[in-house]
Structure 1
Amino acid sequence: MERCTKAFDEKKVKRQWFVVDVAGVPLGRAASRVASILRGKHKPEFTYHCDDGDFVIVVNAEKAKLTGAKAQREVFRWHSGYLGSLREKTLGKMLEEKPEYLFWRAVRGMLPKGPLGRKMLRKLKVYRGAEHPHQAQKPKVLHIDQRFILEEATGGAEG
């Protein structure tokens, strides 16, 4: 019997691929579930200072739901640095034009800041529509309302 704790080895992590359909699911709820999987919090060997999360493919990003009046009330603002070039768009307009970026940005805000968070964010793949180019990885279907990941749930984007 060993009396010392083994150090976590990031190279030995077995990463899985999950596909998540966010059609009709509130944007924030889906983003928080995806961020949790990217961090690896669903695994018993979760280590907060290491990247032991899984890959997540998000499909139907344009069909994510916004609750309340957020579509008209929330505003994105950015500035190019030139005089008078403050741009702004509502959340609803952003969901129509760039749903992939909107979902990516929501997940980015829920991950650690710095190099570790950027490494985790590279495992997120967001697509408009139900098709994705990652069929070769044989992703498991994951439902947002599902609390635990079931081993028998396999397949593509359908589910």
Structure 2
Amino acid sequence: MKTYSQKGSEIKREWWVVDASTMPLGKLAVVIADKLMGKSKVTYTPHIDNGDYVVVVNAKNLVVTGDKMIQKKYYRHSGFPGGLTELRLEEVIEKDPAVAIAAAVKGMLPKNKLAAERLKRLRVFDGTEHAHAAQNPKEIK
């Protein structure tokens, strides 16, 4: 019996839509990362990027448990001395909720050369409306 290895020409990408207000941030990130990697497909091959597109709606209504809205911090540095900026999760969601979701999903993806391309297939929208209705995305429950 031979092991199946998918080729780049055999990739078929689907579109999925998930509502961010239905599950906590961590579980949401796991589901999204699974679809971006293509692990739920029968044809999954680790070294081939055969993942799907994922559209996240209702990002403004992101669900987190416990005191994470206050305790979870996001850091960035300007590169200059004393340039460390620290924001709480509630501030990040208020400013741009796509940053919080993308950071959580990026943490769930494997750290390899395919991660950047996989993350590009993630689309995040604040409300219920999205620009990808023409692709007929399937809903993730």
TM-score normalised to structure 1 length: 0.82
Contact persistence 2:59–2:125 (CA under 8 A): yes
Shift in alpha-carbon separation, 1:4–1:85, aligned structure 2, 3 A: closer
SS at match of 1:136: helix
What is the Cα deviation at residue 111 of structure 1? Answer: 0.8
AA at the equivalent of 2:132? H
Contact persistence 1:59–1:126 (CA under 8 A): yes
Q: Which has the higher helix share?
A: 2
Structure 2 equivalent of residue 148 of structure 1: none
Which residues of structure 2 form unaligned runs of 5+? none
What is the Cα deviation at residue 119 of structure 1? Answer: 1.4
Cα distance in 2 for residues equivalent to 1:26 and 1:13: 31
Contact persistence 1:24–1:63 (CA under 8 A): no
Structure 2 equivalent of residue 131 of structure 1: 129
What is the Cα deviation at residue 85 of structure 1? Answer: 2.1
What is the Cα deviation at residue 5 of structure 1? Answer: 3.9
Contact persistence 2:69–2:90 (CA under 8 A): yes
Structure 2 equivalent of residue 71 of structure 1: 69
User: 2:36 aligned to 30, 33, 38, which one?
Assistant: 38
SS at match of 2:79: coil
Ranges of 4+ aligned residues in structure 1 off by more than 2 Å: 3-7
Structure 1 residues 1-159: aligned runs within 5 Å: 4-143=2-141
RMSD (Å) for aligned C-alpha atoms: 1.4
Cα distance in 2 for residues equivalent to 1:71 and 1:124: 23
Contact persistence 1:59–1:132 (CA under 8 A): yes
1:7-50: CA deviations, max 9, x gaps?
Answer: 32122111111111111421111111010011111111111121
SS at match of 1:109: helix
Cα distance in 1 for residues equivalent to 2:35 and 2:76: 30
Q: Which has the larger radius of gyration?
A: 1
TM-score normalised to structure 2 length: 0.92
How many residue pairs were aligned? Answer: 141
Contact persistence 1:35–1:107 (CA under 8 A): yes
AA at the equivalent of 2:24? P
Which residues of structure 1 form unaligned runs of 5+? 144-159
